[in-house]
Amino acid sequence: KFSSILLKELRKSKLRRPDIILTNGDKALSYEGSSGEVWSIFEQMFIAAIDSGDSTLAEKCLSKLRNKFPKSARVNRLVGIYYEFTGKYDTAMEIYKNLLIDNPSNLAAMKRKVCIFKATGKIDDEILELNNILKMYPSDFSTWLELGDRYFSRYDLESAAHCYEELVLLDPYTAHTHTKLADTYYTIGGATNILNARKHFIMSLNIQCAKLNTRAFYGLIMTCKAFAGLSSKQKISASTSGDIAQ
Amino acid sequence: MLDEFGIGKAAVVNVDSKAYMQIYLHAAKYPSTNIVGFLLGQQKPNGEIIVEDILAICHSYPTASLLEIGALTAEKIGNSSSRKVLGVYYANEVLSDYQVPNYVVQIASTVRAYVDFCIVCQIRNDLLSKKDNLFIQIMNSNNMKNKCKIVGGKSLEEINDVLDSLVYKGIQFKFADFEDHMNDNGVSDFRNPTIELD
């Protein structure tokens, strides 16, 4: 019973702990017997097996799900994930494209396409696909985050900053989003961006105190030090710039 | 003749087995992201270069603030043990990506300002599980490599045995880089004093 509750809590909190799932999966399955929960556990164990590289267990879980739900889009997505795991990206891509033909707003399938582009190193395609997702789901937090990280990986920092600004708009009460934006401004550099970075490090520290927010704390020190090192002309120019809070 | 990173195409870089194993643990902890760290060591009067220690910096694309604080910390750790920051190691996110990324080139040019050269050590993701080759290679430009030797008294086979036992015990999850230290508010010690590499 404990294993079943544990796996249920992991599903609810969306924590990815394949070690715990694989240790407790069989016990949870034997407890649940023939109840409806077993299928969620099979799905959970499939993902855990993929994360751990256990192809035998992954195949076993997937075949049970396919037998029970042969026409399910959710199971088809898992089939696509299995093909990705085995390196058959073209086959996986076909599956996701077919899922999107049936339902063009299938966000999970769109995100899997992004995963394929990421795994195969096709950054341009990945960025294009992420932008397509945002046209349909403009307030999807994880897509803005991934797009920002992608732009950051190419050191297209202005575009990354724009994405992180959207994150701050979507979730202004999380310290982490302010810290991420501040770090990006600081990395871009220049007097105005240093002030912007300082503003967001302070916002981050307002939300979460310095004792629990080392990164923002150090970031604030670095921005203050960097600003102090600027010439008077740069400081005045940055301070009187329209979008800076005094 | 000097190359892009100033190391000299004929130079052999010696890497201490403990530094080699720490790099492995950093890569094993974060197998699906890029990682960056500094290499600490000495250049002997005869020109011999030895990498004796590392400071693992981050497991994401490095930001300026993290690199600045990390570099200051690396310098301080180095000074306390008569070592210098000699270079940078990195692993790319994608398995088949063997390029030297722009941010590594920028870090290298900063290190060169202090040491005349920068050892750019690439982790070959595809060789991490192979036992008969080193998983690191020293880049002297985007396509050319320098020779690398492991020193410290252990053979490659002995090192691989130690690494296998560490990974089997899950020690890589206890390894902390500077970003871990910043993210968990100082709980993790980026010097990893409790990890025994014997």
Contact A215 B93 (CB under 8 A): no
Predicted local distance difference test score (pLDDT) of residue A121? 86
Task: Say if CB B78 and CB B84 are below 8 A apart.
Answer: yes
Q: What is the pLDDT of residues A18-71, one digit of tens each?
A: 888 888 888 887 777 777 788 888 899 999 999 988 999 999 999 999 998 988
The chain-wide mean pLDDT, for chain B, equals 88
**Residue in A closest to B34 by C-alpha:** A153
Chain B CB contacts of A121 below 8 Å: 94, 96-97
pLDDT digits (tens, 9 = 90+) for A58-112: 999 999 999 989 889 999 999 999 999 999 999 999 999 999 999 999 999 999 9
Q: Is the ipTM of this complex over 0.95?
A: no
By CA distance, what is B181's nearest residue in A?
Answer: A214
Say what the pLDDT of residue A241 is.
59
Any chain A CB within 8 A of the CB of B104? no
Lowest mean pLDDT among A115-129, A230-244, B79-93: A230-244
Q: What is the mean pLDDT of residues A10-22?
A: 85
How does the average pLDDT of chain A come out, rounded? Answer: 89
SS3 B80: helix
- Which residues of chain B neighbour A152 with C-beta distances below 8 Å? 61
Q: What is the pLDDT of residue A202?
A: 96
Mean pLDDT of B20-43: 93
Residue from the list B61, B63, B68 with its beta carbon closest to the beta carbon of A153: B61
Q: Say whether B185 and A211 touch across the interface (CB within 8 A).
A: yes
Say whether pLDDT at B1 is over 50.
Answer: no
A178 vs A185: CA distance, rounded Å: 11
Contact A229/B at CB under 8 A: no
